[in-house]
Amino acid sequence: MGHPHLAAPLLLELAHTVNAGLILIDAEGKVQLWNRWLAERSGVSAQEIQGRRLEEVFPHLANSRLAHAVQTALQQQLPAILSQTLNRRPFPLQDHLHNDAHPIEQAITIAPLARESGHIHCLIQIQDVTAAVRREQQLREQAQQLQALSNIDGLTGVANRRSFDARFQEEFQRAQRHGSDISVLMLDIDYFKEYNDCYGHQAGDTCLTVVANTLRRCLQRGGDFVARYGGEEFAVVLPGASHGAACKLASSLQQEISRLGIPHANSHAASHLSISVGVATHTPQRNDRAQDLLRGADIALYQAKRQGRNRVVSADALDLTVQPEKLM
């Protein structure tokens, strides 16, 4: 046969040894149990809070979701769960047990308890979910980093083709809405295959990185965007840039690459590394397509190569309805 008089002290000791916060609220809304876990992390002893309402000791809890959940449990016998996502740290708890004291993230469950007397009590259980929250934050940060890396060319550090396509489409649509100019430059390193054959692939990789950094450095406006489009080809979006401004920048980029003075013995365009640039500008109308503007810049680049490379060619007054062979 059991010993009921031993049960209460045993249960009380259990309440003080569990690795969670336990609060027992009586039918009048007053604290009857405040366990050791909570006392250590709140700085509030059981003697200070027993027989008092939570909001007397923690005024910020008045009219809080926690307070409403407690009332619902006492009056309607309905349980509740307060996640840390929607209810950030209802209790001011600190983990003082480790060197890096920090606020404790809390997951809270509230459950009604029926007593033999017929009165309803309420048990509040507080779990420390700080580690889980930190892991979730780390996973979010890693996901953001992976997303950023997925948009960056691994070799040169500038944006990649995927990122360029998304940005270009976005800027083209903005230009459509505002009736503003948008310019595109397509750039190609002249005789890059021959450069690789002559100096080796490691030198070729270094060359690509130097060119990418030079292009990025020369773009002065915040909205200008450079990307490695593929192989030795780069693309630049110039939102709001007129045709004249785009051509001026293209010439400046060509000159900056020449000034690097990178020897290129196998080039038929110059004794040093050089680039060819195609320029296209348009004020997009409602039914115009972004890919047609890009095609215009690509055709201009093709013309620059046909004319001997190491030069800038523009698709001036580009008609996006004209087929590529007519522009060539």
Residues 188 and 289 in one domain: yes
Whether 174 and 302 share a structural domain = yes
Return the CATH number at 89.
3.30.450.20
Phi-psi region of 247 (alpha: psi -120 to 50; beta: other; left: phi over 0): alpha
Task: Look at the block and give the residue holding tokens 């600190």.
Answer: 94
pLDDT score at 20: 93
Residues 111 and 164 in one domain: no
Q: Tell me: do 92 and 130 sit in the same domain.
A: yes
Is pLDDT above 50 for 77? Answer: yes
User: Do the domain assignments include residue 186?
Assistant: yes
Asked which of 81, 110, 135 is the last residue of a domain, the reply is 135
Q: Where are the beta strands (DSSP E) in the chain?
A: 21-25, 31-34, 80-82, 94-95, 102-103, 106-114, 120-128, 182-189, 225-230, 233-239, 275-282, 312-314
Q: Which residues are within 8 A (CB) of 144 and not within 5 positions of it... i.e. 6 or more apart?
A: none
Compute the average pLDDT of residues 87-111.
84
130 and 271 together in one domain: no
271 falls within a domain: yes
Do residues 91 and 168 both lie within one domain? no
263 found inside a domain = yes
Contact 18, 123 (CB under 8 A): no
Residue 99: the pLDDT is: 62
Mean pLDDT for 85-101 is 79
Establish if 146 belongs to a structural domain: no
Residue range 6-35, pLDDT digits in tens: 456 777 778 888 899 999 999 999 999 999
Q: What is the pTM of this model?
A: 0.60
Domain match, 70 and 193 both: no
The residues, any chain, with a CB within 8 Å of residue 207's CB and separated by 6 or more, are: 189, 192, 195, 199, 262, 273
The pLDDT score that the predictor gives to residue 7 is 57
Inside any domain, residue 143 = no
Residue 203 belongs to a domain with what CATH number? 3.30.70.270
Domain boundary among 135, 169, 195: 135
Pick from 107, 95, 105, 109: which is nearest to 134 by CA? 105
Of 135, 168, 191, the last residue of a domain is 135
Do residue 267 and residue 226 come from a single domain? yes
pLDDT digits (tens, 9 = 90+) for 242-281: 999 999 999 999 999 999 999 999 999 999 999 999 999 9
Across the range 162-178, mean pLDDT stands at 95
- CA-based torsion, 203, 205, 209, 211: positive or negative: positive
- 163 and 103 assigned to the same domain: no
Whether 112 and 162 share a structural domain: no
Q: Are residues 47 and 163 in the same domain?
A: no
Domain residues for the domain of 174 are 151-327
CA distance 197 to 190: 13
pLDDT score for 9: 72
When comparing pLDDT for 88 and 207, which is higher? 207
Domain presence at residue 142: no
- Looking at the DSSP bridge assignments, the partners of residue 94 are 103
Both 53 and 157 in one domain: the answer is no
How many degrees, rounded to 5, is the angle at CA 164 between CA 160 and CA 167?
140
Count how many domains the chain has: 2
Does a structural domain hold residue 300?
yes
Considering the domain boundaries, does residue 111 fall inside one?
yes
Residue 308 DSSP symbol: T
For the residues of 269-295, what is the DSSP string, one character each? S-SB--EEEEEEEE---TT--HHHHHH
